[in-house]
Structure 1
Amino acid sequence: MAEETSLRVYGGVEGDERQAERRMQLIEAGLDILGSDSGDASLTVRGVCKQAGLATRYFYESFAGRDALAIAVYDHVIEEMATTTLAAVTAAPAEARAKIRAGLENIARTIAADPRRGRLLFSVALTNSLLLHRRVHSSRLFAGLLGDQAKAFYGISEETDIEPTTQFIVGGLSQTFTAWLDGTLELDQRRLVDRCTEIFLAISELRPAPSGRSH
């Protein structure tokens, strides 16, 4: 039993915990590479291990190959973005402008503070077919989250189909952030959030009539 324990625990850290730490090191290293100007073209097992400062054998304890890592990196960024944005919206005052602005500010602040995330999510230079498919999936995810929030806030019936509107908003917002990050859209962060908030509010006026709730 003592021998088994010594194999499982090293330096006071459980083996599973050490593996989770190494996995996160590899994800961060993958984000460094995928979020660089060269992007997914330069993502290799050897390169990401060198970036993470880990031996190659540790890569394969968490990932089957470079594609599996790329997907894990993308999903990690999306999950973090979705979680923090939803938290910002939930914490904002119960007023449409405040909630819309809180969500938009969180997204803009996140991608401005860490350009790697911005390039991974919005750069047109991304060519990895798996990640491009992931972008489509994440757009649907955010459209769904937006729809859930809108239905709850405005008292819209669950049977009401607002997906065309939410897909339109998410697609337009994605293109706006793409243009902002590549410099085509010359606005500072505050003005960007201001304009997008006004657009969101204008579109919200087209929503279906609430069922049993007024604002």
Structure 2
Amino acid sequence: MSTLRTYGGVKGDHRRDERRGLLIEAGLDLLGDPEEPTLSVRGVCQRSGLVSRYFYESFADRDALAEAVYDHVVKELADTTLRAVNAAPATAEAKVRAGIENIVRTVADDPRRGRLLFGTPLASRPLAQRRLRSARLFASLLTAQAREFYGLASDEQVEVAAQFLVGGLAQTLTAWLAGDLPLDQAQVIDSCADIFLALAARRIT
């Protein structure tokens, strides 16, 4: 594919990437709406300030945009969580707390992300499948981190524990964001970190 021509000192492919970013952000606004999470090409264009031809420049339809929004949010969360864990001191408690704190604060500081990942029911089948895949992704990341930190060989029990912890964390955040758990951020982080560490100690010792 040829590079789009330069206009106003900015290359066309860069402008296209910027427009795509605006559409993804607008899609996140709509999918993360607390009242009525709906997504339409018209609504996204209105929210982003772009005309429809720019929508179809990047996405085939609204489902393609919804999938891109979800993938964008999951990738950012995975990347920032891994950076937080890797930057933490080399103790199990510090690394567990760093990872959980990043996840909790991310979905709390930007409620749109929280509602998309853990709140709103996903009527779209592709998005529901992506939610399942994201759970597998975080379980595999947790498994890899645990094996590296503890020097473990391949162990089915570690994989079972990782699936259990990721699923439990997701359900906890779902309940917390819905207001069913009367806890503040610090309490959620502390409680989840304690559970992670307790299970890790049980599996390792």
**TM-score w.r.t. length of structure 2:** 0.95
- Equivalence for 1:202: 198
- Equivalence for 2:34: 37
- Following superposition, the deviation at residue 23 of structure 1 comes to 0.2
Paired residues for 1:29-178 under 5 Å:
29-40=26-37, 42-157=38-153, 159-161=154-156, 162-178=158-174
- Following superposition, the deviation at residue 124 of structure 1 comes to 4.2
Mapped pair 1:17 → 2:17: no
- Following superposition, the deviation at residue 75 of structure 1 comes to 0.2
Q: How many residues align?
A: 203
- Following superposition, the deviation at residue 127 of structure 1 comes to 2.0
- 1:89-145 CA deviation, whole Å, 9 max, x = no partner? 000000000000000110111111100000000014332221111100000000000
CA distance in 1, matches of 2:34, 2:197: 35
Superposed structure 1 runs of 4+ greater than 6 Å apart? none
- Following superposition, the deviation at residue 37 of structure 1 comes to 2.3
Between structure 1 and structure 2, the one with the greater Rg is: 1
CA distance in 1, matches of 2:12, 2:144: 40
Q: Which stretch of the first structure deviates more once superposed, 42-51 or 79-88?
A: 42-51
Compared CA separation, residues 136 and 177, structure 1 to 2 (3 A): same
Unaligned runs of 5+ in 1: 210-215
CA RMSD of aligned residues (A): 1.6
**TM-score w.r.t. length of structure 1:** 0.91
SS of equivalent to 1:184 = coil
Unaligned runs of 5+ in 2: none
